Every structure is written in structure tokens, then in C-alpha cells.
């Protein structure tokens, strides 16, 4: 029995399905009804598998043996009849068949097909300044080709989105969107939730000290022990200036998960979207919900490597690769975080010279000052739909004019031109 009995699901009643299929005469016994949490698709699939008909979910004797349309590939008109070339789910391209429109029960896919067609035609018109003679009998091969590519891309991005959400350990959901071009998921990127130390580098995962406060907000807590102020106010906003370290409560502390000094360790709380930018900046990240100012948004993670290794990789990487190298220069310059192949959502966050995220060094279970964790906090209120950005030059130091920039290994790496568009743009990413 579902515990949330007040929840209502769209006209789907498992009991109705059972009764309809097994014993149609019972269909008046409504007292049995329970809300069904299974999706319509799944129920239909189940019916097909068991060869059961169920009128209330649209499985009739007539369509019981129908195949599922994965996407539509092409269109033609023969003897005033409209046909679509269908790619069947779970079947190879070679088994695609032309089906009359009247047989297709896939309004969303038909809509998608029509949208893709119009998008393509409007792009071509814009690009070449020609008026295409619309052929109502058949599609031009280039149009059909584009529609198929778009359909395949959509499936690949959906699969990637599912994978990202399976891998992530934080609360916020990750969405993926590309309405701009045909780019699919990155081919050489692996989602991780925390630092991945290179061989030979050890990250201590247990603190040497933990507090025993009854209230970490008012008492001398972990930050005091490290000689700094508590980083957060009662609204979970950061109140210390950039460049100041954050010392959060750790696994040795007596306090519980609701301690006001446990923020970064809880991970991203917001639903974010990796999206294709329309200004040539590749992938970017936008928030799907409003983010309060001074709030923790995400951590910057990647492989932890030595600065020498970063130097070597910096020579091999192209301009894009170089931007993923994040020197941990809080107190030494021994280590670098490389998020090029291994990373989280932060891998996709673009640079801006006028950013809405700010970098902070964080110590939780690892108190080794050479290896701070990197957290990105909002500098202002960020509205739903806004792109998230941080200043690649502010990595760690929090001060662009500090020595850490001029003497960092980044200086020896090739420079990348900035496309952020801010009034205060400095012209380069690194």
C-alpha cells in the first residue's frame, strides 16, 4: 500500500488494470482502487509483455502487438496519404518502416519532428539568405538527416543526464539541455563527487580534532581552534571575506548533521542545468532555482596532482584543457586540481570577469593546508535561469592582483582569450 494516499496520479489505477484484464465483470468494484505509482509507459509495456489488454491505459486487442516508436526519421506523401519513417525502439535502423500518420500514436514525437524541421529550415534560411521552396511531397535528404541527428542527440543527452544523476551524491538534480547545436555528451569526462588523488598523493580523511560544543554557533568551535571566524550566519550564508578559509565541523565533532557549521560537506542543494551556450562558450551551467546571495552552490573537484604534473599537462593540453587546471595556492603551491577528465558540474561552469560565484578554501576532514577543498559561493542573488560563472583567475587566492597569479605555473601555460562579454573583461582567461 502506498503511504501517501492523498497523492493523486493521472487516471491510473492498478486495480482497474488487474480487473479489466483478468475479470472485466468486476470493473464496478471501485472500492479496491489504489493510486498507482508506476508510469503509464511501464504499465503499457507490462501489458504487452503479459499479452494483457486494458482499455483504461490504451492497450486494446488491436494495438497489443504494436511496436514502440523511438523517433521519426522522414516524411512523405503518397496518394494524398501522409507517411513517416519510423525508428522502432529496441530495433536497428535497418528495420525502419514507413507508417501512415493515422497509425502513429506519438503526438510528442510528431511535434518534435515538426519543431526540428522548422528549426533546421529557419537556420538554413538565416545562414544562406535563400528562400527554400517547401516541398510538400517529401523532405530534402539534408532535412531528414538533421532530424535524425537531433533525435539521436536527444537520446544520448538524456542517457548522459540519467547517468550524471545516478552518480551524483548530492541533493540537487542535474539537467542537460542543448537547443543550440548538434553537440552530444562529452566523450572523455567522468563524473566524480570528491577529489581523486593521483597515485602517491594521500588525502587524510579523518580530522585530528573535533569539537564537543552543545551549540556550534555560539561556542568556541572548530573555526576558533584553527584561529579563524565561523564562516556562516544563521541563514547558512557565508559572512567572511574572500581569501579567508572555512573550517567546517567534521567527523570527529560531537554535533549532528544540522550543525550550522556543516554546509559545503552537504553538497549542492540546487537543481542545475548543463546547457549549450549560444555565444560560442561551449557548455555552461545555469541554475533552475533562485539562489540566495552568499550561499554555497557547488564544490570544484577533479584529480589532485602535483604542480610538476600540472606543468607537464599544461604543455600538452589545448587552451580549453588548460582552463581546468586549478592551482591550490592557499598556503603552498604544491598541488593542482585538474578537472579536465574527472569532475563534477563545476567542470562546465564558464569563466567571467564579472562572475556571480566566488571561490573559498574549505577544510573539513582534511586539515592539511596544502590541500584545501574548493567551494563556490554566490556573490549575489542569482535568479532561476541565470548562467553561473566564476573568475578563473581568482582560483584560490581570492585576490587577482596577488603574487599567486604572476608566479603560478599558469603563467607558463598558453593564454586563452576571454569571451565573457563583461564590461570589465580583462581579455584573457588565465
Based on the shown chain and the rule CB under 5 A, indicate whether residue 376 belongs to the binding site for Zn ion. no
| Active-site entry in 84, 191, 270, 300 | 300
430 binds Zn ion (CB under 5 A): no
Contacts with Zn ion: how many residues (CB under 5 A)?
14
142 interacts with Zn ion by CB under 5 A = no
Asked if residue 394 binds Zn ion (CB under 5 A), the reply is: no
418 is in an annotated binding site: yes
Q: What residues numbered 316-355 form the site for Zn ion, per CB under 5 A?
A: 353
Is 247 marked active-site?
A: no
Residue 364 binding Zn ion, by CB under 5 A:
no
If the CB atoms of residues 28 and 424 are measured against Zn ion, the closer one turns out to be 424
In angstroms, give the least distance from the CB of 428 to Zn ion: 8
Q: Would you count residue 418 as binding Zn ion (CB under 5 A)?
A: yes
216 part of the interface to Zn ion, by CB under 5 A: yes
Under the binding rule (CB under 5 A), the answer on residue 261 touching Zn ion is yes
67 in active site:
no
Q: CA dist 222 to 41, 218, 261, 365, Å? A: 52, 12, 9, 11
Least Å distance between CB 77 and Zn ion?
52
Q: Which 193-212 positions form the footprint of Zn ion (CB under 5 A)?
A: 211
Among 43, 164, 176, 213, binds Zn ion (CB under 5 A): 213
In the complex, the residues that contact Zn ion under the rule CB under 5 A are 211, 213, 216, 221-222, 249, 253, 255, 259, 261, 353, 418, 420, 425
Active site residues: 300, 392
Query: Which residues participate in the annotated binding site?
Result: 211, 213, 216, 221-222, 249, 253, 255, 259, 353, 418, 420, 425
Amino acid at each position: 500500500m502506498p503511504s501517501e494516499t492523498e497523492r493523486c496520479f493521472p487516471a491510473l489505477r492498478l486495480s482497474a488494470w488487474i480487473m479489466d484484464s483478468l475479470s472485466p465483470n468486476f470493473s464496478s468494484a471501485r472500492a479496491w482502487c489504489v493510486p498507482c505509482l508506476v508510469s503509464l509507459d511501464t504499465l503499457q509495456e507490462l501489458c504487452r509483455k503479459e499479452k494483457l489488454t486494458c482499455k483504461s491505459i490504451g492497450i486494446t486487442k488491436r494495438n497489443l502487438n504494436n511496436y514502440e516508436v523511438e523517433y521519426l526519421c522522414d516524411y512523405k506523401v503518397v496518394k494524398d496519404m501522409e507517411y513517416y519513417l519510423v525508428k522502432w525502439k529496441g530495433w536497428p535502423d535497418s528495420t525502419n518502416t514507413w507508417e501512415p500518420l493515422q497509425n502513429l500514436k506519438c503526438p510528442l514525437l510528431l511535434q518534435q519532428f515538426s519543431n526540428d524541421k522548422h528549426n533546421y529550415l529557419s537556420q538554413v534560411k538565416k545562414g544562406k539568405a535563400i528562400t527554400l521552396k517547401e516541398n510538400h511531397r517529401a523532405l530534402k535528404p539534408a532535412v531528414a538527416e538533421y532530424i535524425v541527428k537531433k533525435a539521436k542527440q536527444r537520446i544520448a543527452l538524456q542517457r548522459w543526464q540519467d547517468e550524471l544523476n545516478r552518480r551524483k551524491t548530492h541533493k540537487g538534480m542535474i539537467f542537460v539541455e542543448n537547443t543550440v547545436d548538434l553537440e552530444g555528451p562529452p566523450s572523455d569526462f567522468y563524473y566524480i563527487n570528491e577529489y581523486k588523488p593521483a597515485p602517491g598523493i594521500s588525502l587524510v580523511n579523518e580530522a585530528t580534532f573535533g569539537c564537543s560544543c552543545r551549540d556550534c554557533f555560539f561556542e568556541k568551535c572548530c573555526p576558533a581552534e584553527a584561529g579563524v571566524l565561523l564562516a556562516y550566519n544563521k541563514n547558512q550564508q557565508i559572512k567572511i571575506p574572500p581569501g579567508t578559509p572555512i573550517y567546517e565541523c567534521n567527523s570527529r565533532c560531537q554535533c549532528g548533521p544540522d550543525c550550522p557549521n556543516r554546509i559545503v560537506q552537504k553538497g549542492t542543494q540546487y537543481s542545475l542545468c548543463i546547457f549549450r551556450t549560444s555565444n560560442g562558450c561551449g557548455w555552461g551551467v545555469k541554475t533552475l532555482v533562485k539562489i540566495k546571495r552568499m550561499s554555497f552552490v557547488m564544490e570544484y573537484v577533479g584529480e589532485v596532482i602535483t604542480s610538476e604534473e600540472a606543468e607537464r599537462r599544461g604543455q600538452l593540453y589545448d587552451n580549453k584543457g588548460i582552463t581546468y587546471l586549478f592551482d591550490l595556492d592557499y598556503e603552498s603551491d604544491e598541488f593542482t586540481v585538474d578537472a579536465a577528465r574527472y569532475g563534477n558540474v563545476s567542470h562546465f561552469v564558464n569563466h567571467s570577469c564579472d562572475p556571480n560565484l566566488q571561490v573559498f578554501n574549505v577544510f573539513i576532514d582534511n586539515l592539511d593546508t596544502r590541500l584545501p577543498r574548493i567551494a563556490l559561493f554566490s556573490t549575489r542573488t542569482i535568479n532561476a535561469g541565470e548562467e553561473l560563472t566564476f573568475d578563473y583567475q581568482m582560483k584560490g587566492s581570492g585576490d587577482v592582483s596577488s603574487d599567486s597569479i604572476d608566479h603560478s605555473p599558469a603563467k607558463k601555460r598558453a593564454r586563452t582569450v576571454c569571451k565573457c562579454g563583461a564590461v570589465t573583461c580583462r581579455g584573457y582567461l588565465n
